[in-house]
């Protein structure tokens, strides 16, 4: 089960100034408070693929980190399956914006991190290979991350996350820095994977097309402080394309406008 | 500890690492390359310092052997001493280099 309920969630950072910047004004030394997220209300159903869009620095990563339990919210409530989130857990696995693979472990050892509960070695090995196979990295089990290309590293991290069998997978810009073709293939893989395992997936992206093609729902964050600017169900059949669905194409123009681009090129 | 990428601690928490696992699977592997590099730098220098110290301070050891033989005009012993010092130094350097080639110490180096 991967049901997420977020109510009135707010997050404020206090940026501490270095001492003695302005001695006359002691209030300033306490640091300025920056409200990053304000009054976020969001409900995500089990098995949903939700894509988050928003301008850079609006707090997308912050929201995901809070959901993952890496950071506490300042205000409001966050419940996963009815339980308040107390901290990181193997039930909600985070796939990092920049590689989170352990560079001192091989691909197989990294994937094994999610399968440590299996005491039967043979069974564990079989499962490791199965997940590596799923992301088409067979033959690279014993390679170290530095010996893989950027796209292969992402896939390895995906395999590691899948191996834990989490209720929720949280992905922060999983396609950033990939070349166009790898990007397209990874996108397809993630969509297929989602159709297959039916887990709740949260995905942050800068790419509007990614969000509209992949998401069961698209959530746009915006404003200052950041709130939810749009929360829209996408009931378009898959595989999706902008040519076949004029309504999707119109929505795309709307989203471009919302994010401050006047015309979609 | 400060030099370790904080992302790795998030990963550890995400995968429910025990405190023991956090040390053996994260902290130790993360700092081994630095330790090995530091060892390589210091060990060869230490060897030279040891020999030099033997010449000045104590009445035994290779450094003392060379000095003592020189005073006794036994040049063959002086040469022997020099060769042994060189060989030991070389062996230490090899050992350290070998340590650096171990996979555990290599991860932080650039891809080849
Ligand atoms: N630890 C922190 N301390 C203070 N301010 C922070 C901290 N982390 C993030 N912020 C601030 O919160 C805001 C949102 O950051 P966040 O990383 O969530 O943005 P983002 O939407 O993920 O951006 P991007 O799309 O560029 O990744 C930024 O303005 C940043 O300065
Ligand atoms: Mg971000």
Please write the tens of the pLDDT for every residue from A223-245. Answer: 778 888 889 898 888 888 888 88
Question: What sign does the CA torsion over B108, B109, B110, B112 have?
Answer: negative
- pLDDT value at B60 more than 90: no
Using a CB-CB cut-off of 8 Å, the residues of chain B touching A103 are 107-108
pLDDT of residue A22: 54
pLDDT of residue A65: 92
> In which residue ranges of chain A is pLDDT below 50?
none
In this structure, what token pair is assigned to residue A195?
Answer: 């159709």
Q: Does residue A31 come out as left (phi exceeding 0), alpha (psi in the -120 to 50 range) or beta?
A: left
pLDDT of residue A17: 64
pLDDT of residue A248: 87
- In chain A, whose CA is at the least distance from the CA of B13? A88
With cut-offs at 50, 70 and 90, classify the pLDDT of residue B112: very low
Averaged pLDDT, B70-82: 83
| Percent with pLDDT over 70 in chain B | 93
Model confidence over A121-133: pLDDT tens digits?
Answer: 898 899 899 889 8
Centre of ligand 1 to C-alpha A61, Å, is 7
Centre of ligand 1 to C-alpha A36, Å, is 8
Tell me if B57 sits within 8 A of B49, measured CB to CB. no
Torsion (CA) A88, A91, A97, A101 in degrees, nearest 10: 90
Q: Of how many residues is chain A composed?
A: 265
- pLDDT value at B54 more than 60: yes
Averaged pLDDT, B22-26: 91
Query: A98 in ligand 1 pocket by Cβ < 6 Å?
Result: no
Centre of ligand 1 to C-alpha A191, Å, is 27
Query: A56 in ligand 1 pocket by Cβ < 6 Å?
Result: yes
Tell me if A209 sits within 8 A of A251, measured CB to CB. no
Report which of A165, A138, A172 is spatially closest to residue A152, judged by C-alpha positions.
A138
* Sequence spans of domains, chain A: 1-91+169-177+202-265
pLDDT of residue B109: 64
A8 membership: H or E segment, kind and range: strand A4-15
Of all protein residues, the one whose alpha carbon is nearest to atom 17 of ligand 1 is: A61
Upper half-sphere CA count for residue B75 (Cβ side, 13 Å): 0
pLDDT of residue A108: 92
Tell me if A10 sits within 8 A of A37, measured CB to CB. yes
- pLDDT value at B23 more than 50: yes
A80 beta partners: A4, A83
Centre of ligand 1 to C-alpha A58, Å, is 7
Q: How far apart are CA A238 and CA A216, in angstroms?
A: 10
pLDDT of residue B111: 46
Q: How far apart are CA A72 and CA A152, in angstroms?
A: 32
Residue A49's CB: how many other CB atoms inside 10 A? 23
CA distances from B53 to A152, B72, B93 (A): 54, 20, 20
Query: A220 in ligand 1 pocket by Cβ < 6 Å?
Result: no
Ligand that comes closest to the CA of residue A53: 1
Query: A66 in ligand 1 pocket by Cβ < 6 Å?
Result: no
Tell me if A97 sits within 8 A of A173, measured CB to CB. yes
Report which of B63, B107, B102 is spatially closest to residue B85, judged by C-alpha positions.
B63
pLDDT of residue A107: 92
pLDDT of residue A265: 53
Give the mutation candidate from A102, A115, A167 for the B interface (greatest B CB count, under 10 A). Answer: A102
Tell me if A3 sits within 8 A of A81, measured CB to CB. yes
d(CA B33, nearest CA chain A) in Å: 10
Interface predicted TM-score of the whole assembly (ipTM), two decimals: 0.82
Averaged pLDDT, B20-46: 86
Using a CB-CB cut-off of 8 Å, the residues of chain A touching B25 are 102, 105, 113
Surface-to-core class of residue A205, CB atoms within 10 Å of its CB (0-12 exposed, 13-18 middle, 19+ buried): buried
In this structure, what token pair is assigned to residue B54?
Answer: 């033997």
CATH number of A1-91+169-177+202-265: 3.40.50.300
pLDDT of residue A111: 92
Give the mutation candidate from B5, B6, B11 for the A interface (greatest A CB count, under 10 A). Answer: B11
Residue A106's CB: how many other CB atoms inside 10 A? 19
Please give the angle made by the CA atoms of B3, B5 and B8, to the nearest 5 degrees: 135
DSSP state of B6: H
Residue A242's CB: how many other CB atoms inside 10 A? 16
DSSP string, B86-109: HHHHHHHHHHHHHHHHSHHHHTTS
Ligand that comes closest to the CA of residue A54: 1
* Sequence spans of domains, chain B: 32-111
Using a CB-CB cut-off of 8 Å, the residues of chain B touching A105 are 25, 29
Query: At A174, is the secondary structure helix, strand, or coil?
Result: coil
Q: Which residues of chain B approach chain A closer than 8 Å at the C-beta?
A: 7-8, 10-11, 13-16, 25-26, 29-30, 32, 103-104, 107-111
Ligand that comes closest to the CA of residue A220: 1
């Amino acid at each position: 089960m991967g049901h997420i309920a977020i109510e009135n969630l707010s997050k404020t950072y206090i940026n501490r100034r270095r001492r003695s910047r302005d001695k006359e004004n002691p209030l300033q030394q306490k640091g300025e408070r920056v409200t990053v997220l304000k009054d976020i209300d969001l409900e995500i159903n089990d098995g949903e693929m939700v894509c988050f869009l928003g301008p850079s620095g609006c707090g997308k990563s912050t929201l995901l980190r809070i959901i993952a339990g890496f950071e506490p919210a300042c205000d409001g409530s966050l419940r996963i399956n009815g339980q308040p989130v107390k901290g990181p857990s193997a039930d909600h696995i985070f796939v990092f914006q920049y590689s989170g693979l352990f560079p001192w472990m091989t691909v197989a050892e990294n994937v094994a991190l999610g399968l440590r509960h299996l005491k039967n070695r043979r069974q564990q090995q079989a499962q490791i290979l199965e997940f590596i196979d799923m992301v088409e990295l067979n033959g690279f089990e014993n390679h170290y991350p530095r010996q893989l290309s950027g796209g292969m590293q992402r896939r390895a991290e995906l395999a590691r996350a899948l191996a834990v069998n989490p209720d929720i997978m949280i992905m922060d810009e999983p396609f950033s820095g990939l070349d166009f073709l790898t990007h397209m293939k990874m996108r397809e893989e993630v969509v297929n994977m989602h159709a297959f395992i039916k887990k709740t997936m949260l995905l942050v992206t800068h790419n509007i097309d990614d969000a509209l093609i992949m998401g069961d729902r698209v959530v746009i964050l915006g404003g200052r402080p950041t709130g939810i600017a749009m929360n829209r169900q996408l009931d378009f059949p898959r595989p999706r394309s902008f040519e076949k669905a004029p309504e999707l194409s119109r929505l795309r123009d709307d989203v471009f406008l919302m994010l401050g681009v006047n015309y979609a090129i | 500890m400060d030099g370790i990428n904080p992302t790795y601690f998030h990963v550890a928490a995400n995968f429910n690492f025990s405190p023991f696992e956090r040390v053996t699977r994260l902290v130790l592997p993360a700092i081994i390359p630095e330790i090995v590099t530091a060892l390589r730098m210091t060990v060869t220098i230490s060897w030279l310092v040891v020999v030099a110290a033997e010449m000045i301070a104590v009445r035994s050891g290779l450094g003392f052997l060379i000095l003592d033989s020189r005073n006794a005009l036994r040049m063959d012993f002086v040469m022997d001493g020099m060769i042994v010092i060189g060989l030991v130094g070389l062996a230490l350097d090899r050992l350290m280099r070998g340590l650096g080639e171990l996979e555990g110490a290599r991860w932080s180096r650039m891809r080849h």
